Structure 1
Amino acid sequence: MAGKNPAKRLIEGTQVLSLVISIGTIFIVQIVSIFAISVFIILDLNNKAENAADETVYILTEPLYNVDDSQISRIADALLSSGRISGIVIDTSATGIVVNKPAPVQSRWIKPRIREVNYNDFFLGTIELQFSDNELLLTIKRFLFAMVVAVIAILTVYLIATRVLIQKRTQRVFSALSEGISEIGAGNYAYTIPETDYEDIDAIINLLNEMTRRIQGKNAELVEINVSLEQRVAERTAELEDSLVELRRMQERLIESGKLSALGQLSAGIAHELNTPLGAIQSAVSSMVNSFDKKLPEQPAFFSSLSDQEQNLYTKTVVLGLESNKTLDIYLPSRRETKEIEALLEQQNIPNSPEVTACLADMGLLNKLDDLLPYLAINRNREILAEVSDTVIIRRMIEVITESSAKASNVIEALRSYLTTTVFDTTKIIDVETDIKKVLTLMHNLLKHGISVKTEFSGLLVQARADTLSNVWMNLIRNAVQVLNGSGEIVITTQEQDGRGIISVKDNGPGIPPEIQDRIFEPFFTTKNTMQGMGLGLDICRRIIESSQGKIWVESKPGETVFFVSLPLAEYV
């Protein structure tokens, strides 16, 4: 296991501890010895330095008196070569400094000795003797070497002794104990560990043997209990399985009941959503039939009666009109723009300017005036544009039929998807945003009166049960609509966060009081009247989300309530 300390052995640990204590004791004794010897050597060297200074004064008195500088230099060199001193400085009263040979490194423990040389009360000069620590350091090094040799010898003897005498004896005792513990650990509780000749070890062995006897007794009891327990668990498992089956059936009935209840509340809106495009289709077809029956047969004769210039206007207007009316998003000028265009045509001396402007506006061609202006300067322009208008309007009616049938088809597809009775026991990849859009299609009539819906989608795909997830969106959006009471904003957002898909439904309603926020997911808890629900909607939502390994929660404050749904992200094989 990561972070576990390496295994230790008691015998080896004890030997190491004893060895460390022994070595520490030896080192302490040696350090104290080195200190004592060093103090003794330093005192001895200082005494020798005093003697050397006195002897040097005696030797140099006569040469200093005779002012024999060469003799003084020879004596100084002899003193330095003897090794007793490391440096010498001789300053005579007659000639000044005769010898100036200071020590390369001054001694830390032996201070320089300075002596005045006098002869019959006559001052001859001064002598400074300097010393080094070489002798002291050499003595300490020799002692350290002897100490290291002694420590190595002691360690060698100690290791041999512990290996031969102590370790073998303790291993014989502990091996029998270890073998017995291994047998017990392997489940052999009938094994009895033999006693030794050591009282403390035998106390542990007796405890282990007593423990194994108790374990054997408890095992016999457990075997009897286990037999009866297996039978009881089997019976209880069968009961639980039956309960789970019945619970799932009840949950599915509640979900279907919730779907039908929501659909009943939305039925008028869905009927309106279907009637609106069907009415538009019916009106467009009526207009097209009228044009085909009354106007189209007259078109060839009318076109043949036109001059070349008039045919050019006819043809150009048809081409631009059909192109502009391929969608219902045609150019619709304001009244001011229409007046300005009419005045422009009059300035260009275009006949019938008001009627021409009106016809072009009906066909959505006022933004194409620059293309048509060269063809409009003819007297029959109003008549030609009126004829062309019937053809262009037919193209627009075709687009009305196309978009209206698509809208009706979307409503029917959303209704079919919402009411699906297929049950999925396993999860599948679900496009959450497509699922929400289908629900919004069913609720369009309920949402368009004073309530705006904004969506901030991120292309989210989740792993969930496809048969029930749309019921969650229906409940959350319907609850938001009810609290907004006909005026407000709903914002639906999808995003990925921390490896999960997060869907939120936010409204700017009055908010949920803090004292009931923890209870809103309880079954049969509701703040609405009985006509609006029994308090099962959010409980069903919670069960649906949890069945897909998800989570649902709410965050609310005055002026804002957000329901969050967390689901596993889609898994691709």
Structure 2
Amino acid sequence: MLQPTHLVLDRRGNVEVLPTNTAAFGEADLDLVNQTIAHFFDDENPDNWWLVIQQVLDTRETFNFDYSLKVGGREVWFAACISVLSKDAVIWVARNISLRKLAESALCKKNEELANTLQELQRTQQELVQSEKMAALGQLIAGVAHEINSPLGAIRSSVQNIADFWVENLQQLPAFFQKLSPERQQDFFALLRRSSQEGDTLSSKEKRQVKKAVQRQLEAEKIDGADSLACTLLDIGIVTEIASFFPLLKDRDSANILQTAYLFASVQQSTKNIATATDRAAKIVFALKSYSRYDQSGSKVLANITDGIETVLTLYHYQIKQGVEVVKKYGNDLPSVLCYPDELNQVWTNLLHNALQAMGNKGVLTIDVKQQASSICTSITDTGGGIPPEIMPRIFEPFFTTKPPGEGSGLGLDIVQKIVEKHQGKLQVESAPGKTKFTVELPIKTSD
């Protein structure tokens, strides 16, 4: 162990007693008595050192600091302690700490390397999550394409219906309205207003029952052609409170008036279909945009858990409608969670994808989101075959999968677990024959 060097200095920084272990300064053979402290330093302002000595003497407080000297052409580090020895003298104790400084420098460098490695690992993990997300989207793309083509087809068909109506009827409409009496014109527009009102979609069986009921009412009023008139009223969407239309229905031109009203009602329905299909397509595009987004800011934001789940459900709509009943149990007034929404979407994607596959796209999928104390708990339960007990301990292992080649990378649940842990959350699984339940518990935070 290197011996410390002791210097006794007066108020002006002069050496009063022969220092010990002067070899540490590279001056073992010199008589240093009456030299000033500035002798040991290559300093542009030697007054700095005796000012420190004066400060120690004035305040009577010990002063600790590190400094370096050039000794034998190399840098040597010292830890110094200046303390009061007498009224006008201090003792300066210096210890060689070069080895410690080297160790600190090496440790600092190693920490920097570790920080860089951690940053690279985090970047790689983000890329892996994005890659897995895109892989899942690739498996969904056929269904998503169908979900987009369906509303586009509905729009195309509705536009064609509207165009056909105007081409076939535009010339006849002026003459039609000229023939109508004021009373019949009022009845005609009343038919259109009633047809535009929202009504429940009836099944084929219900339509037959309603048609018979309307027909009986018309026959009771001795209205001719009750059967065909009942069909037309049903097509227009008027199945209740038809008594106000009895005068119209008794008119000898009632069939022509009803048929024209039906054509106008078809145009109205076509515009509704276009609006509905447009909303559906916009919802799918928004879900795709939200799902595929890659936020590189690395910052958490406040987000609603159920919004993310709904985004993923939209993308899986094609698979779900094959035979899956979705039961949603969303709590009221759920608070937002400080999170990485894009990464949580990957959690919901993997869990929902696994659940649908486990059921073969046929069964009951239950999604339960509720607040428990300071957490949001999301449970996804399927009615599939369950996870065999012998493989349960391995389901979170990277690259472990029981799926056929090409249907899974074995990274899904591993990624889910890492994302949940990144959010300081918990992931639990329960399984039995006919039921598997994954629960994600995330802390409610508004700031880090």
TM-score > 0.5 by shorter chain: yes
Distance 1:236 1:222 in 2: 23
Q: Which amino acid aligns with 2:306?
A: E
Partner of 1:518: helix, strand, or coil?
Answer: helix
Distance 1:316 1:328, change over 3 A: closer
**Is the CA contact 1:475–1:541 (under 8 Å) kept in the aligned structure 2?**
yes
Distance 1:356 1:382 in 2: 7
What are the Cα deviations for residues 146-193 of structure 1, in whole angstroms up to 9, with x where unaligned?
Answer: xxxxxxxxxxxxxxxxxxxxxxxxxxxxxxxxxxxxxxxxx9xxxxxx
Partner of 2:401: helix, strand, or coil?
Answer: coil
Query: Structure 1 residue 321 and structure 2 residue 195: aligned?
Result: yes
Query: Structure 1 residue 416 and structure 2 residue 283: aligned?
Result: no
**Partner in structure 1 of residue 415 of structure 2:** 540
Distance 1:503 1:225, change over 3 A: farther
Q: How far does residue 242 in structure 1 lie from its aligned partner after superposition? A: 2.0
**Is the CA contact 1:424–1:465 (under 8 Å) kept in the aligned structure 2?**
no
**Is the CA contact 1:328–1:400 (under 8 Å) kept in the aligned structure 2?**
no
Distance 1:223 1:551, change over 3 A: farther
**Is the CA contact 2:338–2:447 (under 8 Å) kept in the aligned structure 1?**
no
**Is the CA contact 1:266–1:443 (under 8 Å) kept in the aligned structure 2?**
yes
Distance 1:328 1:320 in 2: 10
- In the TM superposition, what are the counterparts of 1:39-54 in structure 2 within 5 Å? none
Q: Which amino acid aligns with 1:436?
A: I
**Is the CA contact 1:480–1:490 (under 8 Å) kept in the aligned structure 2?**
yes
Q: Which amino acid aligns with 2:363?
A: G
Query: Structure 1 residue 488 and structure 2 residue 346: aligned?
Result: no
What are the Cα deviations for residues 457-507 of structure 1, in whole angstroms up to 9, with x where unaligned?
Answer: 114321111231111101000001111123211111111113111111111
- In the TM superposition, what are the counterparts of 1:156-555 in structure 2 within 5 Å? 226-322=100-196, 324=197, 327=198, 329=200, 333-458=206-331, 459-460=333-334, 461-555=336-430
Distance 2:301 2:136 in 1: 25
Q: How far does residue 319 in structure 1 lie from its aligned partner after superposition? A: 2.8
User: Percent of aligned pairs with the same residue?
Assistant: 34
Q: How far does residue 529 in structure 1 lie from its aligned partner after superposition? A: 1.9
Distance 1:411 1:307, change over 3 A: same
What are the Cα deviations for residues 505-561 of structure 1, in whole angstroms up to 9, with x where unaligned?
Answer: 111112112233232112111111221112101111112122222222212222211
Q: How far does residue 331 in structure 1 lie from its aligned partner after superposition? A: 6.0
Distance 1:469 1:455, change over 3 A: same
Q: Quick check: which one's strand share is greater?
A: 2
Q: How far does residue 308 in structure 1 lie from its aligned partner after superposition? A: 4.1
Distance 2:217 2:200 in 1: 25
**Partner in structure 2 of residue 114 of structure 1:** none
Q: How far does residue 223 in structure 1 lie from its aligned partner after superposition? A: 6.5
**Partner in structure 2 of residue 84 of structure 1:** none
Q: How far does residue 297 in structure 1 lie from its aligned partner after superposition? A: 3.3
Alignment RMSD: 2.4
**Is the CA contact 1:313–1:376 (under 8 Å) kept in the aligned structure 2?**
no
Partner of 2:322: helix, strand, or coil?
Answer: coil
Partner of 1:334: helix, strand, or coil?
Answer: helix
Distance 2:202 2:377 in 1: 41
Distance 1:230 1:563, change over 3 A: same
Of the candidates 545, 557, 563, which is equivalent to residue 432 of structure 2? 557
What are the Cα deviations for residues 209-262 of structure 1, in whole angstroms up to 9, with x where unaligned?
Answer: xxxxxxxxxxx9997874454233213212211211221121122111111110
Q: Quick check: which one's helix share is greater?
A: 1
Q: Which runs of 5+ in 1 are unaligned?
A: 1-186, 188-219
Distance 1:505 1:486 in 2: 15
**Is the CA contact 2:210–2:239 (under 8 Å) kept in the aligned structure 1?**
no
**Is the CA contact 2:385–2:435 (under 8 Å) kept in the aligned structure 1?**
yes
Query: Structure 1 residue 569 and structure 2 residue 444: aligned?
Result: yes
Distance 1:445 1:512 in 2: 25
Distance 1:513 1:392, change over 3 A: same
Partner of 2:219: helix, strand, or coil?
Answer: helix
Q: Greater relative contact order: 1 or 2 (C-alpha under 8 angstroms, separation 6 or more)?
A: 2
What are the Cα deviations for residues 15-34 of structure 1, in whole angstroms up to 9, with x where unaligned?
Answer: xxxxxxxxxxxxxxxxxxxx
Q: How far does residue 316 in structure 1 lie from its aligned partner after superposition? A: 2.6
Distance 1:531 1:303, change over 3 A: same
**Is the CA contact 2:188–2:257 (under 8 Å) kept in the aligned structure 1?**
yes
Q: Which amino acid aligns with 1:532?
A: E
**Is the CA contact 2:396–2:414 (under 8 Å) kept in the aligned structure 1?**
yes
Distance 1:376 1:403 in 2: 33
Alignment: residue pair count: 353
Q: Which amino acid aligns with 2:343?
A: T
Q: Which runs of 5+ in 2 are unaligned?
A: 1-61, 63-93
**Partner in structure 2 of residue 155 of structure 1:** none
**Is the CA contact 1:523–1:539 (under 8 Å) kept in the aligned structure 2?**
yes
Q: Which amino acid aligns with 2:228?
A: E
Distance 1:274 1:396 in 2: 20
Q: Which amino acid aligns with 1:512?
A: I
